[in-house]
Amino acid sequence: MPKTLGLRLTVPGGERTLRAEFPDEEWAAICQFLEYAKRLDETAIARDKHLIQVMIAYDQGQLRTEVTLPPEEAVESFLLRMRMVLLQNEPTYFYRLCNYLARRIDDTTFRKGLDAIKSQFQGAGIRELVRIRARAASGDEIEVTSEEALNLWLYAEPYHGDPDKKALLARTHKLLPLDASKALFYLMLRDKALAALNLGNVIRVLNGDQESFEIPVGG
């Protein structure tokens, strides 16, 4: 039986109520996403309990890096719980859930709010601060702070162990240490986790489990 929900949206000049109806399959995925978001919120990395930082500089013609990474067990737990919202073939893939909500709630202001959350998931914050490229002698090049590089690492190491992607990752990290890139990847993933938590809060408001949640939508 389809799930029907109401959402009270505060806008300049007052409030309006939006209605949405979700087919069983979509609502089941939404509920499962909430469970994964809850588990993500329990991880030390999502809660910013571990210092993650990287310093990259040239000193007298030499590349110098200083990197602080979280403990491996914290990373493994975090990546395991992120998997269900990161991978495209999962029913709870982040963008799939966003599409469900945007399709069922036909409101420009609401969709702007979703766009703000998607921007956070896409790493807009960190890419405004820094962009780093890693090059190989073969001519291969990646922008470390890009979705492409993050996905390359995820498929090369923690998720699939793809040998071709491992080789490309190794070629582009002859000069820049991989740990430096990992620090940036962890920061990008933490932003994605926070975006997933924000999306979960929107869903809780829709379902009446939470009174309100504010999404900055810009001008």
For residue range 90-137, list pLDDT tens digits in order: 999 999 999 999 999 988 888 988 999 999 999 877 777 777 777 766
> Which helix H or strand E contains 18, and what residues bound it?
strand 14-22
Single-letter amino acid, residue 165? K
Q: What pTM did the predictor assign? A: 0.88
Token reading at 190:
């933490």
Q: Which residue has the tokens 């990546």?
A: 79
What is the dihedral angle through the alpha carbons of 69, 73, 76, 80, rounded to the nearest 10 degrees?
Answer: -130
Count CB-CB contacts under 10 A for residue 121.
22
Report for 53-62, 66-75, 208-217: range of highest mean pLDDT: 66-75
Q: pLDDT digits over 44-69, tens only?
A: 999 999 999 999 887 777 888 899 99
Find the range with the poorest average confidence among 32-46, 164-178, 188-202. 164-178
Q: Which residues pair with 142 in a beta bridge?
A: 134
Residue 170 reports pLDDT greater than 60: yes
Mean pLDDT of 171-199: 92
State how far the alpha carbon of 173 is from the alpha carbons of 18, 55, 141, 185, in Å. Answer: 50, 16, 10, 14
